[in-house]
Structure 1
Amino acid sequence: MVTIKFKHSRIQKSLIRMRVLSKQWFALTTYIPLLYSNLGAWSNFFSQEIDTFYRYVEYAVSRFCDQDISAHTLDMYVEYLYLEQIELFGRCLESLIKKGLQVLVIRILSLDTNLPMYRLPNTLLSASFLTSLTLHKCELPLFLMDDDVNLKSLRLLSLIQLPIEEGVIEYMIKGCPLLEEIYLRFCYGFSAFCVNRHHNLQRVTIYSNIGLQRIDVDAPNLSYFI
């Protein structure tokens, strides 16, 4: 199992520039099991390098998914200017979820305020191997409450600055029987936090700018609530 990180890296940038000169280097660098990449900060790239970088990320993830290796951790930090950039990461994310992903951390920032938030794929709801899920500034899957949530291995759910419709958190928790910790920070769009008969939940932390109108938690093993 390997850890895959999509973050800024000077080494990775040098490898991408080598690709412009050498197809052999392009193929060899995709064997590296740790991917350090970032689709933001385009000011230091030339147009040819941007195109190469796109193809590099897609090709590297594709090669990884073709191998008999489980993707243990995906730590993804993305700053995007165009929808095409975030759509690329969406495709990569779906592919890696299918490889038995266990830890997922996503931090997404749009550098253009006119662009919509990135919406997570429905594939995420059936990521049965996930043990830890941290989401920052993105949107939960569309029609989440119309689909079955099967996060049967999840132990940590951390949501930061997400829009959340009423009842969504309660519905998600029902599909996470092993969940031990919930962390909510400045999420918005809901006024009630409810947990119904959850025997494994131990810790709940909620930071809110507006407060909640209703808190109803039925968790006999809860030892920490703030």
Structure 2
Amino acid sequence: MTLKAFHFAGVASMNITLGVPHIKEILDAVKKIRTPVIFVTLECETNVKFARLVAGRIEKTNLGQVAESIKIVMTTRSASIVVMLDMAMIQDAHLSIDANAVKESILQTRGIKLKQEHVKVLDVRKLEVVPEEADRSRLHFRFHNLKSMLPNVIVRGINTVQRVVINEVKEEREDNKYKLLAEGTGLLAVMGTEGIDGCKTTSNDVFEVQRTLGMAQGF
């Protein structure tokens, strides 16, 4: 089934396996289903702005998605990688991201191997990365390798949630309600996110529900 809904940054659709195919996945005990989706209930269900805000907290966002530019800047005396954030896009998407948050995300990312002194916040939307390399002959390679890795740094959200759409549920005698559909896994992390009613949030992945809530809930 293709479900049309509002992506928190626009209009989107999501394919969800239902009916006989999904029943077959359950009966065959498929541990990795084709379209895992977490059905999220919000603490405030009638406010679309609140829904967008919470969606931004759980959808995985990479630095490359919110950066205006990531450039290697070289002078006769120094070289660095300058990251410029697209603050207009960040605000439109209701993401709580600035240069300080990006710095912390970079430092926590495995494989990049940078220390506090290697990443400098220049202002709220701009930061500078100066990698350390003992072997001067490898410095050029280090810069270009780091530049290729930075766009993949996760700066917001849950790394197993690929996408979130907002589903508007029309009510006849009440205000319309909004629910989130999170494409991916990570039920426990989603349930614990601020603004989400964890008691009313579930997943179509019975094995994840079992791991998170126990055998009785999963089956």
Q: Per the shorter chain, which TM-score range?
A: under 0.3
**Which structure is richer in relative contact order (CA contacts within 8 A, separation 6 or more)?**
2
Query: Based on CA coordinates, which of the two structures has the bigger radius of gyration?
Result: 2
TM-score by length of structure 2 reads 0.25
TM-score with structure 1 setting the length = 0.25
Structure with the largest fraction of strand: 2
Relative to total residues, which structure has the larger helix share, 1 or 2?
2
